[in-house]
Amino acid sequence: MYDTTISDNGQLLTLTGASQPIRFHAIWLRDNAQDADTRSTQNGQRLITLQDIPNNLSISAARIQENDVKLTFLPENKTIDYPIDWLLEHSYDQKSKNNDQMCQLLSSGIQTWGNELQNEIPQADFKELKTDSNILAKWLEQISRYGFAVMNNGPKRNLALMELVDLFGFVRETNYGKHFEVRTEVNATNLAYTGMALQAHTDNPYRDPVPTLQILYCLQSSTDGGESMVVDGFNIAKQLRSENPAWFDVLTRYCAQFEYKGSEGVQLRARHPMIELTADGLLNAIHFNNRSATTFTDIPFDDMQTYYAAYRRMSELIDDPSHSVQFHLKPGMAFIVDNTRVLHARTGFSGAGERWLQGCYADKDGLLSTLASLS
């Protein structure tokens, strides 16, 4: 049985009847009113600004009617209904919830992993992704949860990767074009185009914002080696923090600088912390790329030694095989990574045979939007 009380000054409402009393501020309630004068009934967008709410706002009356709390606000003398379920769902009076998040570093729905995921690589068949929205939703959910997924049995034709992107969102065009070719090349302007092994990295940290998704699609592969490898950067950050909180801290506090100027007319530069946190301390992104890291000058002298110790340890953790998952891309296979979280790499391969991948970038918000709509 739910009940309500109003504080003497009319600034707080307390809802009782749930497992514990839940408090709401008058200004929060008024700003979040769902009535037709406050929120568009068509698209849910807010129709008022904060200044439309009187500064001397207070709650003058509250009563429960069926499944709603009916609140009257002064001086507007306006009565607005709040469904109790909506209040419970949007409660912010839970200190323990935030404390748990701070300890874990992770937003809900994110699961970190290491090599134990090797036998359970998230994957799906192209045809099923295209024809079965449940399978597509599951695959997108796995990308959101684990930060990567593999696609099998796709078409082996030029630009087939665009058909994959069409399933969930839009390509993000860059100076490399709508897509880029990854082949062995002589006189390569970018090390990705040679047969050299590459340390696991996030792509394009020299951009701001960085591309949030990367798709690599295999069209030909007859080389020795060239295994693809992925590493969960959030897992690395967690490990680093448990080993040495000061090292974790220094990588979140200062920005590394990244640069790319490999082709004519392009000089990209950006600053990002290697471990980026949200304002409330959750992991937001990893930016790690030894090839495009440039000279660090934004770390204070007194912290530079610690910074390099932390950077080295992060690099070691990334290279530790217990943290990576590997797979061999065959023609018609692709993988997608959350480029703000999961690092990717490939082992070295010989010049004999051919290896031809096509890659592109896309936006994670579009993928999450498609996932939310499907769900």
Nearest distance from C-beta of residue 203 to Fe ion, angstroms: 4
- Residue 225 to residue 352: CA distance in whole angstroms: 11
Report the C-alpha dihedral over residues 208, 209, 215, 221, rounded to 10 degrees: 10
- Nearer to Fe ion by Cβ, of 203 and 338: the residue is 203
Residue nearest to Fe ion (CB): 203
- Nearer to Fe ion by Cβ, of 13 and 182: the residue is 182
Nearest distance from C-beta of residue 354 to Fe ion, angstroms: 19
- Residue 290 to residue 140: CA distance in whole angstroms: 29
Nearest distance from C-beta of residue 185 to Fe ion, angstroms: 15
Q: Which residues contact 220 (CB under 8 A, 6 or more apart)?
A: 331, 354, 355, 356
Nearest distance from C-beta of residue 258 to Fe ion, angstroms: 13
For 253, what's the count of Cα atoms within 13 Å in the CB-facing half-sphere? 13
Q: Is 338 in the site for Fe ion (CB under 5 A)?
A: no
Of 141-200, binders to Fe ion (CB under 5 A) are none
Check if the beta carbon of residue 343 is closer than 8 Å to that of residue 202: yes
Nearest distance from C-beta of residue 344 to Fe ion, angstroms: 6
Of 191-220, binders to Fe ion (CB under 5 A) are 203
How many residues bind Fe ion (CB under 5 A)? The answer is 1
- Nearer to Fe ion by Cβ, of 73 and 335: the residue is 335
- Residue 268 to residue 175: CA distance in whole angstroms: 10
* Cα 45 to chain centroid, rounded: 24
Check if the beta carbon of residue 195 is closer than 8 Å to that of residue 351: yes
Q: State the binding string over 277-316 for Fe ion (x if CB under 5 A, else -).
A: ----------------------------------------
- Nearer to Fe ion by Cβ, of 86 and 356: the residue is 356
- Nearer to Fe ion by Cβ, of 203 and 363: the residue is 203
Token reading at 16: 């009782």
- Nearer to Fe ion by Cβ, of 275 and 357: the residue is 357
- Residue 310 to residue 304: CA distance in whole angstroms: 10
- Residue 161 to residue 158: CA distance in whole angstroms: 8
- Residue 290 to residue 268: CA distance in whole angstroms: 16
Nearest distance from C-beta of residue 323 to Fe ion, angstroms: 17
Nearest distance from C-beta of residue 201 to Fe ion, angstroms: 6
Nearest distance from C-beta of residue 155 to Fe ion, angstroms: 23
- Nearer to Fe ion by Cβ, of 203 and 232: the residue is 203
Smallest CA-to-CA distance from 273 within 283, 263, 264 is with 283
Bridge partners for 349 per DSSP: 225
- Nearer to Fe ion by Cβ, of 62 and 230: the residue is 230
What number of other Cβ atoms are within 10 A of residue 311's Cβ?
Answer: 20
Contact positions toward Fe ion, by CB under 5 A?
Answer: 203
